Structure 1
Amino acid sequence: MSVLKRFLPKGLFARTLLIIVLPVGLMQVAVAWSFFEEHWETVTSRLSEGVAGEIAMATQLYEQEGGETPAFQRHIEAALGTTRLSIDFRPDDTLPTSRRSSFFRTLDITLREALSQQLDNPVWFDTTRYPSYVDVRVQVEGGVLRFITPRDRVFATTGHIFLLWIIGATTLLTAVSVVFIRNQVKPIRRLADAAEQFGRGQDVAHFRPAGATEVRQAAHAFLEMRARLKRHLEQRTALLAGVSHDLRTPLTRLKLQLALMPQTGETADARRDLDEMEAMLDEYLDFARGDGSEETQRIDLIGLTREVVEDARRHGGDIRFDTEGELDAELRPGAIRRALANLIGNATSFGEVVEVTVEPNGARIEIRVEDDGPGIPEDQYDEALKPFNRLDESRNQNRKGVGLGLALARDVARGHGGDIRLGRSELGGLLAVISLPQ
């Protein structure tokens, strides 16, 4: 059964078409086989036996009375008038040596068997030379008897018409099935496309439920889920905006008070603590805010990456970026900018040299950020992508941030229908690859 599954179609359209067309095709094949086996071959055999009997009788009459006798001539005239069997004696002639077979070999086999049962003389026949007649020749003493008989007296000609009807009916049923199934599958494809677009954060306001009742139910459930998620994101964004405002106000007051106090070692330490607290707060809010409120747009990803690299260079980072040209993609610019800034910031924190590349890879786009730092052990890649995981032992004590850089980058990538993976860089440090759909 598992072997059979490998050969079955995977798509719903192909499977449904197979379910409908295969039984119809098998039924048509069974009907056609039954017709040809039980009716057509039987009728053809009887017709061939009748003509073979008339040819045998004419041959015997010739051998008994000779070809020039009045009795034989009367028989020739009677055969032509009543059975439409034309008889011609060719003196000193021999049978042809070449033979052409009919497309339906059953016709030749049936006629050959009938003639061999009725005649002992050598026989040659041709069912292909004349469209409406069959040419039969019998070797007799002194020459050859040639018989020309209408084709419909030897074979049942309705078999081909029946076969055409079977093929035509199957073709018509298949065409109707294709149109019907395509109309049923189309709403399912639209629902799948809408779900994929929503997973990337794109607007699916144009989507409307359609199709069968079950498909409409699934579509309505999807729209309700989408509305609940949007409400959740809006509520979370509003809550975080209030938290951000409430926390930044006391931080600003504390920074102002420190600025007015005498500048000592203690005030400098307090100011550094406040700066670190503000940076941590920004990182928390960036991770919690996500990118649900930002609309996607068609942007040049190479140009956006170049801007992020230039910003990082202004802060003293040694970053290589040699990708040229343009590469358009449907993205949220702000979210992608935050993810790249986090990855490049992490790379510059733990390495001296950072290399960034952007390149297409099949139907996807890959952004590679690698450094020459200490890297991360392979068995800790999954842990490194979890929020608030600092991996102190493997990344130089991770003095900066709260361990949200990689987690935020992965959240952004997955919000676009992509993902992020980690590996070992050729520079010796960590390789982070963001994979996005084009």
Structure 2
Amino acid sequence: MRYTSKFNLFYLIKKKLIPKSLLSRFILIIIIPSLIGQSIALHLFYERHWYNVSYHTSSLLASEIESLLQQETVYQNKNQIKNYLNLSYILEPNKKINTTTQNNSEELEIFQKNLSKKINYKHEVFLDENGKIKVLIEIPKNLLIITIPAKTLLNPTTYIFALWIIFLTIILLAVSLIFSKNQIKSILELTNAAEKYGRGEKMPEYKPSGAREIRKAGIAFLKMKDRIERQTAKRTQMLAMISHDLKTPLTRMKLQVELMDDSEEKEELNHDINSMQYMISSYLDFARGEGGESFSKVELNKWVSDYIKLSWNKSNIELEQKKNNIFAQIKIYSFTRALNNIISNATKYSTKIKISVYSQNDNAFITVEDNGKGIDNIEKNHVFKPFYRGNKARTFEDSTNVGLGLAITKEIITGHYGSISLAESKTLKGLLVKIKIPKLAD
């Protein structure tokens, strides 16, 4: 249980913190190693290298001061500024250290510690107002004041090194960002081409570009596109041939039946021939999937309203629409057939129908509700299957059909990159059919 909670926490942190876009992830991949590398470099420089340099330099200065204290001339010249090696000193008689302890830099603290190891006199080290290092040593009845140039121990250019690292990092990130955007541009071009082709829109001229792997993906997409178009053309040609071959003998049979005298057998034969023609048309429509029709951009509210007025003006249909425009890409003939199939079924089994058009996020919805009997929950899982006809509830078929009505409807909606589902209507208490398709930007 604890492992599961930790895993869920890690998943949530990962989901929240990791950027969603590819460019953001590229930047993150570049920034994190760069920051880690620069942090290690600064740590090694300041904590290791610079400490060692400061330690050795302060040790040499402490040794020089120790050597100075061993010189007899130091105690002979009072109130006179003298030089010894890199040191400048003055001996003031009858004075003591009266300065307060100051917060020194790390380099001066190292120097203070090294000096304490070399001499036994009371002493104080600090940086004066003029930017020079002062060393006060209290020797018997005298105060020795030693002045050391700050640059001997302190390096004022250390911050320049840190600024240079930051500046260099910014330059590297800028250059990396330019190259990353160029790589992502080729991915976006491939994505745009695949998305437009998938929606059936006119695909812009696409040429694979970018890195080798992206070019290979682009070439694979173009090959796939060519294969799909060849297979679609072959299937359309084959279906046209099948349609001709099957309908021709049926037409001859129908002509022969018309020449027969009126009788019960003639009516049965006419019924059988019409049923066969209807079934053949359904088979071909299902196999074809209306694939030859191109997409058109429509405003769904207006299109559905015009469709209802034109095809179902005399039916008891309530139309509910939002005021905002909802644009979508549809194959008008195919989509009309799918919607007509749903509404005609509703009119058979109900007396009141309600159609709603609305949108949520990136999707457009069309719902058809009625006050009829509805469909059992068990049947809802099967009615979309080809050649299935329910027995316990209403279906989308008539006596001449073979169970393809709702299957064809689903095939059409799927061809629009959408989905269709069945549920119980909460307002009319009958069947609710919900169609979802992608919405276009206004």
TM-score for both structures, normalised by structure 2: 0.74
2:3 is matched with none
Q: How far does residue 274 in structure 1 lie from its aligned partner after superposition?
A: 5.9
1:341 is matched with 340
Note if 1:235 corresponds to 2:234.
yes
For residues 312 and 111 of structure 2, the distance between their equivalents in structure 1, rounded to whole angstroms, comes to 93
Deviations 1:310-368 (A, max 9, x none): 34423635343344442122333333323222232333333332222222211222222
Q: CA contact under 8 A between 1:318 and 1:348: conserved in structure 2?
A: no
For residues 323 and 257 of structure 2, the distance between their equivalents in structure 1, rounded to whole angstroms, comes to 47
For residues 357 and 112 of structure 2, the distance between their equivalents in structure 1, rounded to whole angstroms, comes to 76
Question: Measured at CA, do residues 387 and 50 of structure 1 come closer, stay the same or move farther in structure 2, by a change above 3 Å?
Answer: same
2:174 is matched with 175
1:38 is matched with 48
For residues 166 and 33 of structure 1, the distance between their equivalents in structure 2, rounded to whole angstroms, comes to 13
2:83 is matched with 78
Deviations 1:65-94 (A, max 9, x none): 7xxxx82422x3537x954789999x9996
Question: Measured at CA, do residues 331 and 157 of structure 1 come closer, stay the same or move farther in structure 2, by a change above 3 Å?
Answer: farther
Deviations 1:259-301 (A, max 9, x none): 8988888777766666655554444443333243222232212
Indicate the larger mover: 107-116 or 173-182.
107-116
Matches for 1:245-324 after TM superposition, within 5 Å: 279-314=278-313, 316-324=315-323
* Larger RCO, structures 1/2 (Cα 8 Å, 6+ apart): 1
For residues 416 and 223 of structure 1, the distance between their equivalents in structure 2, rounded to whole angstroms, comes to 22
| Structure 2 residue identity aligned to 1:417 | Y
Q: CA contact under 8 A between 2:77 and 2:91: conserved in structure 1?
A: no
Question: Measured at CA, do residues 228 and 417 of structure 1 come closer, stay the same or move farther in structure 2, by a change above 3 Å?
Answer: same
Deviations 1:84-108 (A, max 9, x none): 789999x9996469x7787xxx457
1:355 is matched with 354
SS of 1:410's partner is helix
Q: CA contact under 8 A between 1:21 and 1:177: conserved in structure 2?
A: no
Q: CA contact under 8 A between 1:135 and 1:149: conserved in structure 2?
A: yes
For residues 51 and 314 of structure 2, the distance between their equivalents in structure 1, rounded to whole angstroms, comes to 92
Q: How far does residue 230 in structure 1 lie from its aligned partner after superposition?
A: 1.5
Question: Measured at CA, do residues 96 and 58 of structure 1 come closer, stay the same or move farther in structure 2, by a change above 3 Å?
Answer: farther
Indicate the larger mover: 11-20 or 285-294.
11-20
Matches for 1:76-225 after TM superposition, within 5 Å: 76-78=81-83, 83=87, 95=99, 106-107=106-107, 110=110, 113=113, 123=124, 125=126, 133=131, 150-225=149-224
Question: Measured at CA, do residues 30 and 267 of structure 1 come closer, stay the same or move farther in structure 2, by a change above 3 Å?
Answer: same
For residues 143 and 260 of structure 1, the distance between their equivalents in structure 2, rounded to whole angstroms, comes to 145
TM-score for both structures, normalised by structure 1: 0.74
| Structure 2 residue identity aligned to 1:36 | Y
For residues 181 and 266 of structure 2, the distance between their equivalents in structure 1, rounded to whole angstroms, comes to 73
Indicate the larger mover: 207-216 or 250-259.
250-259
2:414 is matched with 414
Question: Measured at CA, do residues 398 and 412 of structure 1 come closer, stay the same or move farther in structure 2, by a change above 3 Å?
Answer: closer
Structure 1, unmatched stretches of 5+, are none
Q: CA contact under 8 A between 2:295 and 2:331: conserved in structure 1?
A: yes
| Structure 2 residue identity aligned to 1:170 | T
For residues 23 and 412 of structure 2, the distance between their equivalents in structure 1, rounded to whole angstroms, comes to 34
Structure 2, unmatched stretches of 5+, are 1-5
Q: CA contact under 8 A between 1:184 and 1:212: conserved in structure 2?
A: yes
For residues 326 and 40 of structure 1, the distance between their equivalents in structure 2, rounded to whole angstroms, comes to 68
Over the residues paired in the alignment, what is the CA RMSD in angstroms? 4.7
For residues 198 and 92 of structure 2, the distance between their equivalents in structure 1, rounded to whole angstroms, comes to 86
SS of 1:314's partner is coil
Question: Measured at CA, do residues 285 and 41 of structure 1 come closer, stay the same or move farther in structure 2, by a change above 3 Å?
Answer: same
For residues 279 and 213 of structure 1, the distance between their equivalents in structure 2, rounded to whole angstroms, comes to 53
